[in-house]
Structure 1
Amino acid sequence: MKIVSWNINSVRFRIAIVEQFLREVAPDILCLQETKVVDEDFPHEAFHALGYVHTVIHGQRMHHGVAILSRVPIVADDRFDWQANREARHIGVRLPNGVRLENVYVPAGGDVPDRAVNAKFGQKLDFLERMTRWSADLAVPTILTGDFNIAPLPSDVWSHKALLKTVSHTPIEVEALDRLQASNDWVDLGRHFHPAPARLHTWWSYRSPDWTKNDRGRRLDHMWASRDVAAQAVAHSVHEDCRSWLKPSDHVPIMTEFAW
């Protein structure tokens, strides 16, 4: 089974590259973040035409939004408000084998890494703390994936030294993500299959006219699994070529394959 996570940055605006990816890669399950569409306007028809007839969505107009599209049956399981303000940032399902699949879009956190002057940064840290409390009580096989908006390792960014004070790579965010990972002994599948310092970037800013020239990427998108599920993972890949497609997202898809 192939499971993909992709921050698509507006599913309707980028539906053409979503369809292209699904035709070329044919994952079994696609987890999207930042869909930016209310549920009644979600483009179900495009997914149904390609065989993704099982859909669970949690939308919001113009902002946020998450969705899980599947070729295999899935059962809606949960929607957690880890942001504590009803933003559509999480959706979870149960797979046919009983594994839970949790799709999350962690807040970006604004530009200043100081909660005293930047409320968004404080909200991001609080979001991660609520996730950590949930994770600590988890006792079922689970995959946790999505846009975590944190690049934890020095090799997860184009320059560790240059980005130490940049939101997404600050020590306080990395420590918060480390606590989340330790809370349930999560396996980071990206680094399990591609140990640091291997290149594994998943995001490049739109600010650069040619992202390939300076290649200032960060690994913001992750696929984690509980130990029992991680033991069944056989491969992990990052589809970097999607960043050069027409009307690209600033993120690219990540995919883990499981021996199910």
Structure 2
Amino acid sequence: MSSPITGTAAGVPFTALPPSGSPTGHDPDGHGHGQSQSQGQSPAPLIVTWHMLDAPRSDAAFAAALPMHGLPAWRVHLGMPMCGARMVDGSTDAVRELARQDVLMSFLHPFVRQASEEFPAALAALREQLPVDDGPIGVLGGSLGGAVALRVLAGTGIPVFAGAVVNAAVRLRSVVELFPGEYPYDAESEKAVASMDFVAHADLLAGRAPLLVVSGERDHPGLRADASDLVDALGEQAELLPVPGLAHPLADEPGIEPAPQLPRARAVDAALVGWFRRHLADGPGPL
């Protein structure tokens, strides 16, 4: 099994897992090594992920929780803002302080916006660094990273062959409700949550790509309801996969460093492998 590759793409840290059977491994400098160690490899499809802000809360930890081994595609796990290699002083204290100041306008909304807006440049850099093909990509997001994947689908023209979200932030308003106290909405914050209500904006997702919506049966009730509403809104384009026993996180705390895969994450991982394998097989290129 190939070792993960770490680096940055247009300033975004990533952990990349090579396609099944690839000999690619680590480069000691930690930057640009995918390209240097991948000379002569045939280009393979690309699946990009965005991690949770719960555990696993870094690209490396998310890669360990949902590695999707066995797929004939690169799985590149991108770091969210101020997470992993972008943590301030090596901790998540700065993120918690932003959430304390204003959970929506200082934390949730700008994190999703930044991660989605920095993605096109990161994608271009990944195509330069790694032997990935220039065809449609797969996208996957967990929790708040799910909102990023949905925003990439709804707000960009980047071709996508299949998408998946796990315990996703389908409606940002529902995530705000998970925090203590009543949020003091005003015109600006109402506009912010409305812009990231992907049930209301299902028309922007319609026809973009098949979407697997994984929903833990022990996830927050509001998020579970939103997952069901999204699948209903998208009809035949989307599939809902309830996972028995799965709560919101996919890893144990602290969830920053890679850790052994938990049984509940293994079940999600197997479903994702099957989903992306099916849609890779439906694509125009050879596996």
TM-score normalized by structure 2?
A: 0.37
Relative to total residues, which structure has the larger helix share, 1 or 2? Answer: 2
Q: Which has the higher contact order (CA 8 A, sep 6+)?
A: 2
Relative to total residues, which structure has the larger strand share, 1 or 2? Answer: 1
TM-score normalized by structure 1?
A: 0.40
